[in-house]
Structure 1
């Protein structure tokens, strides 16, 4: 099983818009990905699951995936979480 650890860069953590962007990206990948924070693990494509983690700015989460395309899927999601998605919203406006 492939795994990556990443620090959540978004100012609001994995809440509201950053969580939505992350969940949508995870759902498009076609590879089951799990997000782990401590002992709690949830599917990356579950909005309620991701929100339930309560990951704030600076929280370290671990992403796990298995199967074909797992490494690429994790690389893509790590790159996403490493950006401040709140700041990206300001740039998009």
Structure 2
């Protein structure tokens, strides 16, 4: 398992548009990808799961990947979220 802790900097947090960006990035990975916030962990490939966490701006979340492309999955997701200015 590979994981990374990131800080959400999008002004509205991880809702609607930024959540869609995150889910699309995770969905391209073969590995199981999860996001955890405040003791809850959900499948990052599920828009409803990600939005159910209610992640606000300035929150720290843990993104984890388990599977054959876990290293590449974390790197790709981080790259997309940084490019979209969703994470710091």
Relative to the length of structure 1, the TM-score reads 0.82
Displacement of 1:77 in angstroms is 1.4
CA distance in 2, matches of 1:50, 1:72: 21
Partner residue in 2 for 1:40: 40
Secondary structure of residue in 2 paired with 1:62: strand
Partner residue in 2 for 1:84: 85
Partner residue in 2 for 1:90: none
Structure 1: 5+ residue stretches without partners: 86-93
What is the number of equivalent residue pairs in this alignment? Answer: 85
Secondary structure of residue in 2 paired with 1:22: helix
Q: Contact 1:6–1:81 at 8 Å: present in 2 too?
A: no
Structure 2: 5+ residue stretches without partners: none
Secondary structure of residue in 2 paired with 1:49: helix
Partner residue in 2 for 1:31: 31
Relative to the length of structure 2, the TM-score reads 0.86
Displacement of 1:27 in angstroms is 0.7
Q: Contact 2:30–2:67 at 8 Å: present in 1 too?
A: no
User: RMSD of the alignment, in Å?
Assistant: 1.4
Higher helix share: 1
Displacement of 1:44 in angstroms is 0.3
